[in-house]
Amino acid sequence: QSALTQPPSASGSPGQSVTISCTGTSSDVGGYNYVSWYQHHPGKAPKLMISEVSKRPSGVPDRFSGSKSGNTASLTVSGLQAEDEADYYCSSYTGSNNFVFGTGTKVTVL
């Protein structure tokens, strides 16, 4: 199972929006509505930001939103803040009790 494809980096100024893509195949992203997104600050444990494509867990700001079209899922961070600077990973179910992560995107707040 190959990793899902994410852009290596994305950036935006405070207050702007940034969208991160996560491209897979019909066997993973396109085949299931089980895509989740994680924020990872170096040295800390990853944090769940979005589950099941677009569900935001309690405590996650509504500036974070998720969507999916075909084999590509997206995470949008609106109203960028300095603390949003981190690595972001998508993950998808691939069937038969298997999962896969994306390659990761480093978000920089300019």
Partner 1 sequence: QVQLVQSGAEVKKPGASVKVSCKASGYTLTSYHMHWVRQAPGQGLEWMGIINPSGGSASYAQKFQGRVTMTRDTSTSTVYMELSSLRSEDTAVYYCARSPNWGYDYWGQGTLVTVSS
Residues in the site for partner 1, rule: CB under 8 A? 1, 3, 34, 36, 38, 40, 45-48, 50-52, 55, 57, 87, 89, 91, 93, 96-104
Query: Toward partner 1, which CB reaches closer, 19 or 51?
Result: 51
Question: CB of residue 92 vs partner 1: minimum separation in angstroms?
Answer: 9
Question: CB of residue 34 vs partner 1: minimum separation in angstroms?
Answer: 4
Q: From the CA atom positions of the chain, what is the Rg in Å?
A: 13
Question: CB of residue 79 vs partner 1: minimum separation in angstroms?
Answer: 23
For the record, the structure tokens of 15 come out as 């207050």
Query: Toward partner 1, which CB reaches closer, 13 or 97?
Result: 97
Neighbours of 6 (CB within 10 A): 23
Query: Toward partner 1, which CB reaches closer, 14 or 91?
Result: 91
Q: Are the C-beta atoms of residues 25 and 108 closer than 8 Å to each other?
A: no
